[in-house]
Amino acid sequence: MTERRKVLQVIAGAAGAGAAAVAAVPVAGLVAAPAHTPSPHEGRGGGDGWTAVARIDDLRVGEALQVPVLGQEVDAWSVTPARRIGAVWLLRGGEGADTVKALSAVCPHLGCLIERQGDGFNCPCHTSAFAPDGRALTGPSPRPMDPLEVRVRDGSVEVRWVRYRLGVAQRVAEG
């Protein structure tokens, strides 16, 4: 192999790799970007995070009621006000307002909506069963149903809606 041939080979390889890199870096950067760039509108729902979901009078002692959570839905560029963003099971243990409990209706397994079954709850997708207080009984759910902060103001039941990471044993809020 001649010296000239070697030099040309190096030039061809280096220039070709250089050209590929100049195009590949921005492209890889962009393709990876959505994975680590949250929408700038995320978390700009306004208010203090409390959302009214029901009237206390709508809840009967000992019964569970599923109510939708309305809020601002953010999806990349699009921002939709007053859209259904989640669902909550409300439970009222007694007469007092402090006996109201809220459980996220989102199954901790893979995010299907949990139904009422008998006294407890059941996820229709992979038949995870939960106790009336949300404890996981049988099925693949890695953790109990997720409790949400709840309060009663002027007869109105308010929750702080949080979406938790699915499929893991620990309860981690989704950013």
Partner 1 sequence: MLNKLTQWARERLGERSLDQPVRGASWRHAVGAALVALLLVEAVTGVAMMTVYSPGVHTAWSSTFYLQHVLPWGASVRAMHHWASQALVVLVGLHLAVVVAAKAHRAPRELTWFAGLGAAGLVLAFCTTGFPLAWDQKGYWASRVETGIIGTIPVVGPLVQRAVLGGARYGALTLTRFYALHVAVLPALLVALVAAHVALVRRHGTAPRDEGAAAERWWPSQAARDAVGALVAVVAVFLLARAKGVSLDAPADPQSQYPARPEWYFSPLSQLLHHFQGPMQIVGTMVIPGAVTTYLAALPWIDGPGRKGAARVAVLLPLALIGAGAAYLGYELAHHDAGDPSFQRATADARRQATRAVALARQHGVPPEGPLDMLQNDPAARPAALFRRHCAVCHAARGFVTERVKAPRLDGFGSRAWAMAFVAWPDHPELMGTTEIHDMGPQRRLSDDDLRAVGEWLHAEGVERGEPAPDAALVTRGAAVVQARCNRCHLGRLAPEEEEGMVRDAPSLDGWGSREWIYEQMVNPQRLEQYGARNHMPRFRAKVSERELQMLVDYTRSLRTRAAPALQRPAPSPPPPPPPEAAAPEAPAAEPERPRRRRR
Chain centroid, CA 74 distance in Å? 12
Cα separation of 8 and 85, whole Å?
A: 61
CB of 7 to partner 1, least distance (A): 8
Give the residue, chosen from 3, 57, 60, 77, that forms a contact with partner 1 under the rule CB under 8 A.
Answer: 77
Q: Does 79 bind partner 1 (CB under 8 A)?
A: yes
**CA-to-CA separations, 117 to 79, 121, 130, 162, 175, in angstroms, rounded:** 35, 5, 9, 24, 31
CB of 159 to partner 1, least distance (A): 24
Q: 57: which DSSP letter?
A: G
Give the residue, chosen from 43, 55, 58, 80, that forms a contact with partner 1 under the rule CB under 8 A.
Answer: 80
Cα separation of 156 and 153, whole Å?
A: 5
Say if residues 126 and 117 touch (Cβ distance below 8 Å): no
Binding residues for partner 1 restricted to 24-43, rule: CB under 8 A: 24, 26-27, 29-31, 33-34, 37, 39-41
Q: Does 154 bind partner 1 (CB under 8 A)?
A: no
Count, residues near partner 1 per rule CB under 8 A: 32
Nearest to 122 by CA among 136, 103, 102: 136
Give the residue, chosen from 47, 78, 118, 174, that forms a contact with partner 1 under the rule CB under 8 A.
Answer: 78
What residue ranges bind partner 1 (CB under 8 A)?
A: 5, 8-9, 11-16, 18-19, 22-24, 26-27, 29-31, 33-34, 37, 39-41, 74, 76-81
